[in-house]
Structure 1
Amino acid sequence: MMAKRLLFGADCRRKYVSVIRNAICSEIHGSSWMKACAANVQGRWPKVENAMERLPTSVSAKIPFKRRMCSTFQSTIDQAEIKKFQSLAQKWWDENGEFQALHTMNDLRVPFIRDTLINYIGSRQSGSPLSGVRLLDVGCGGGLLSEPLARLGAVVTGLDPVEDNIRTAEVHKSPDPFLNKQLQYKACSLEDITEECSECFDAIVASEVLEHVADRETFINCCYHVLKPSGHLFITTINKTNLSYLIGIIAAEWIFSIVPRGTHEWEKFVIPEELERQLESNGFYVESINGMYYNICSGLWSWTESTSINYALHAVKSKDTQHPESENPVSEETIQSYANSAS
């Protein structure tokens, strides 16, 4: 009986590998093979409302620029997401485990962050190109990205709301005196530090985090408040397309078990145009958006022109420093006129 199950599982994998390969190569959304795949998975894999419908390729006109203090918004923390990652807290540094894809993603995201910052601020010290840069790693998990960025010379603060994740990160860095000097961790949410860290950081990294937050608008707004003017925001996340549902959830979670089942929710994915609109409405301007591709067979990442599955985004905070609680700040002339009338 066990042998039959194994053979059946192998046969299913072979069947869907060809479907997935065709999907990646052609990127034909809404075509007959997609409909056939959707029919095959009904009843066996989680359904997502409208996941197999063709998604819009553009969004409405950008809304007027508007910012408010983070305290006026909802929390960015989703308790269901906390529970998911709580059970994985001890597995962050297993390169062959559930976070294998994040380990190999460093081959792309570390040079992307390093080279972009060097291009804007210049290399400050040979061997430590990010020396003096204050960097915030939001949703740092066990520190997979925080550590290599700190080794490049950046002064890194890693945030994560899961206390066990922070414990794992602390234990891993503790034997290294250099990391202990360059890197600190805090078990809290982004909005928890907005008041004490207003305009503190030169750069923020939110890698594979945005698809797990409870309120994306709040998250972006808080990033604005803790960044210095002209500070840099780096995001890697997953596009909300038919292909991302097929690859990111069905293939990655249900067929190949690259990540645990239930890690992602398709409804929380965001198309680049929508993310760009939200960023620009909260005081950022987007400099670049680059597609990323994960090879399931080799376990390696590469850059691609297509953003239909994963993508990396770089945005810069506007130099406009008007008070975020006011959409129409009072001018000095108005203040003086009030003063004169009162005297």
Structure 2
Amino acid sequence: MYANKFSRLVLGVYSRKTAAVCRVVHSAAGRSGYSWTAVCKQRTLWLQRSACLKSQHTVPCHISARSASQTTVDPNEVRRFQSLANKWWDEQGEFAALHAMNDLRVPFIRDNLLNVHRTCHPGKPLRELRILDVGCGGGLLTEPLGRLGATVLGIDPVGDSIGTAQLHSSADPDLRDRVSYLACTLEELSAEEEGGEEEQGAGQFDAIVASEVVEHLADLETFAFCCSHVLKPGGSLFITTINKTNLSYALGIVVAEQLLRIVPSGTHDWEKFISPEELERLLESNGFSVQSVQGMLYNPVSGAWSWTNSTAINYALHAVKVRGDPHTEQAEESSSHPEDHTAATHS
């Protein structure tokens, strides 16, 4: 019953006015014990919090990849995924939607990389490219990228998930020389060069993939900084995540988690969702240029994903590293023109 109800909502959501959508969700929620007020509560709290933060004077925090006091890892998220570590390859289980997402995200990554690098390797189009899969889980995206010819390193802070990924990939001889895994964080990998491990250090990857990851991180500024650090100049960053809207809360959490149980309850925290505009500003401040943003839509009835013009719920983003550490460049520019800096200070 709920599946049919949700399907009608999804198919009509982009062609109806916002008010009509609100009425539909309100009606469905009322019959299921939820209220539209509850659905929007977190959104309202976030807007109030944002307004307070904007009114305060803040000092820029220049994060060092080596001695960052902040971390991308949220202990609560690690515990949650620890309990699911042995379920990654159950295509009908908790990660069924992620398995289905490969139909969109693998071609999205492949085609954009080919546009950037103009390589020609029939059968293995990503050959000679090094890709870092951040938050790889059980290797659901790592493996297909390896089969396309790329050398892929998957990292995840959940050791049991890495164990699952290693065990699964070991059964495929085609992946043994192309796919490897490490149980570590992005900031730990970023710091390895300064510890003497140049192989995995700064500027070593042609691309970074963070699919359905950023909405689980504790600090996106550290994430963006470290991504820039380990990418080669001209390297690509691919992100798929969830927008921060009332609709994403209603469908992504209330319906998907609490009603239809498409994903386990508590998987997502709406406060961690980020809009494409916010994500683009964050990446640009860390030396990236966003090339494309595309909306994604999941149909729980068919279990399939499709591209859409709306980014109101899920979206995919491709960005390219265009320069080095923006904080270092800013400091160098200020030191090279001290008189300008002094004049600006007195003005």
TM range (shorter): 0.7 to 0.9
* Structure 2: gaps of 5 or more residues: 193-200, 338-347
SS at the partner of 1:327? helix
Between the aligned partners of 2:132 and 2:17, the Cα distance in structure 1 is 35
1:117 to 98, 113, 119: 113
Asked if the contact 1:86–1:162 (Cα under 8 Å) also holds between the matched residues in 2, the reply is: yes
Task: Confirm whether residue 279 of structure 1 aligns to residue 274 of structure 2.
Answer: no
Between the aligned partners of 2:175 and 2:272, the Cα distance in structure 1 is 34
SS at the partner of 1:26? coil
Asked if the contact 2:7–2:301 (Cα under 8 Å) also holds between the matched residues in 1, the reply is: no
How many residue pairs were aligned? 319
Between the aligned partners of 2:334 and 2:15, the Cα distance in structure 1 is 56
Matched with 1:218 is 222
Distance 1:37 1:267, change over 3 A: farther
Distance 1:37 1:152, change over 3 A: same
1:157 to 135, 153, 164: 153
Instruction: Please give the residue correspondences for 1:1-343 in structure 2 after superposition, counting only pairs within 5 Å.
Output: 10=1, 18-19=8-9, 21-23=11-13, 25-26=15-16, 28=18, 31-36=22-27, 49-51=41-43, 68-70=63-65, 71-196=67-192, 197-319=201-323, 321=324, 324-325=327-328, 327-329=330-332
Asked if the contact 2:3–2:300 (Cα under 8 Å) also holds between the matched residues in 1, the reply is: no
Q: Under a length normalisation based on structure 2, what TM-score does the superposition of the two structures give?
A: 0.83
Between the aligned partners of 1:73 and 1:54, the Cα distance in structure 2 is 25
Between the aligned partners of 1:92 and 1:171, the Cα distance in structure 2 is 12
TM-superposition CA deviations, 1:232-264 (whole Å, max 9, x none): 000000001111111111111111111100000
Alpha carbon RMSD of aligned pairs, Å?
A: 3.1
* Structure 1: gaps of 5 or more residues: 1-9, 335-343
SS at the partner of 2:115? helix
Give how far 1:183 is off.
0.6
Distance 1:20 1:111, change over 3 A: closer
The structure in which a higher percent of residues are helix is 2
SS at the partner of 1:328? helix
Identity %: 52
TM-superposition CA deviations, 1:133-181 (whole Å, max 9, x none): 0100000000000000001110000000000000000000112222110
Asked if the contact 1:35–1:52 (Cα under 8 Å) also holds between the matched residues in 2, the reply is: no
Give how far 1:125 is off.
1.5
Between the aligned partners of 2:224 and 2:336, the Cα distance in structure 1 is 32
Give how far 1:18 is off.
4.7
TM-superposition CA deviations, 1:85-104 (whole Å, max 9, x none): 11111111111111000001
Residue 108 of structure 2 aligns to which amino acid in structure 1?
Answer: F
Give how far 1:78 is off.
0.3
Distance 1:14 1:128, change over 3 A: closer
Distance 1:300 1:27, change over 3 A: farther
Between the aligned partners of 1:314 and 1:19, the Cα distance in structure 2 is 29
Asked if the contact 1:134–1:156 (Cα under 8 Å) also holds between the matched residues in 2, the reply is: yes
Q: Under a length normalisation based on structure 1, what TM-score does the superposition of the two structures give?
A: 0.84
Distance 1:175 1:69, change over 3 A: same
After TM superposition, the structure 1 stretch with the greater mean CA deviation from structure 2, 278-287 or 32-41, is: 32-41
Give how far 1:23 is off.
3.6
Residue 311 of structure 1 aligns to which amino acid in structure 2?
Answer: Y
